[in-house]
Structure 1
Amino acid sequence: MAKTYNDEFISLMISVLTVSDSRTEETDTSGKYLVDTISASGHKIHDKKIVIDDIYKMRAQLSHWIADEQTQVIIITGGTGFTERDSTPEAVAPLFDKTVDGFGELFRQLSYDDIGTSTIQSRALAGLANDTLIFCIPGSTSACRMGWEKIIKNQIDSRHKPCNFALRLKNVASECGTRG
Structure 2
Amino acid sequence: MSRINENKPFVPVRIAVLTVSDTRQIAEDRSGDVLVQRLCDAGHNLADRKIIRDERSEIADQLRAWCRDEAVDVIISTGGTGLTGRDVTVEAHRDVYEKEIDAFGIVFTHVSMAKIGTSAVQSRATGGVALGTYLFALPGSPGACKDAWDEILAYQLDYRHKPCNFVEIMPRLDEHLRRK
**TM, length-normalised to structure 1:** 0.90
- Deviation at residue 59 of structure 1 after TM alignment: 1.0
2:91 alignment counterpart: 90
1:56-95 alignment, distance < 5 Å: 56-95=57-96
1:151 alignment counterpart: 152
How big is each residue's C-alpha offset from its partner over 1:42-69, in whole Å with a ceiling of 9 and x where there is no partner?
Answer: 0000000000010011011111100111
Please say which of residues 147-156 and 161-170 is displaced more in the overlay: 161-170
1:16 alignment counterpart: 17
Aligned-partner Cα distance in 1 for 2:139–2:102? 16
1:42 alignment counterpart: 43
Determine helix, strand or coil for the equivalent of 1:94: helix
Which amino acid in structure 1 is aligned with residue 85 of structure 2? Answer: E
1:178 alignment counterpart: none
Aligned-partner Cα distance in 2 for 1:12–1:35? 13
Which amino acid in structure 2 is aligned with residue 162 of structure 1? Answer: P
Aligned-partner Cα distance in 2 for 1:119–1:153? 20
Contact 1:79 1:86 survives alignment (8 Å): yes
Contact 1:166 1:172 survives alignment (8 Å): no
Contact 1:16 1:31 survives alignment (8 Å): yes
- Deviation at residue 94 of structure 1 after TM alignment: 2.1
- Deviation at residue 168 of structure 1 after TM alignment: 2.4
Aligned-partner Cα distance in 2 for 1:95–1:24? 25
Matched, 1:137 2:106: no
Identity of aligned residues (%): 44
2:177 alignment counterpart: none
2:178 alignment counterpart: none
Aligned-partner Cα distance in 2 for 1:44–1:121? 31
Contact 1:69 1:171 survives alignment (8 Å): no
Aligned-partner Cα distance in 1 for 2:87–2:169? 30
Unaligned 5+ runs, structure 1: 174-180
Determine helix, strand or coil for the equivalent of 1:169: helix
Aligned length: 169
Determine helix, strand or coil for the equivalent of 2:47: strand
**TM, length-normalised to structure 2:** 0.90
Determine helix, strand or coil for the equivalent of 1:59: helix
Runs of 4+ in 1 over 2 A off after TM superposition: 167-173
Aligned-partner Cα distance in 1 for 2:131–2:170? 9
Aligned-partner Cα distance in 2 for 1:103–1:171? 19
1:112 alignment counterpart: 113
1:177 alignment counterpart: none
- Deviation at residue 110 of structure 1 after TM alignment: 1.0
How big is each residue's C-alpha offset from its partner over 1:100-142, in whole Å with a ceiling of 9 and x where there is no partner?
Answer: 1111001011101221111111100001111101111100000
Matched, 1:32 2:41: no
Aligned-partner Cα distance in 2 for 1:12–1:171? 15
Quickly say closer, same or farther: Cα 1:172–1:120, change in 2 above 3 A.
closer
Determine helix, strand or coil for the equivalent of 2:153: helix
Determine helix, strand or coil for the equivalent of 1:50: strand
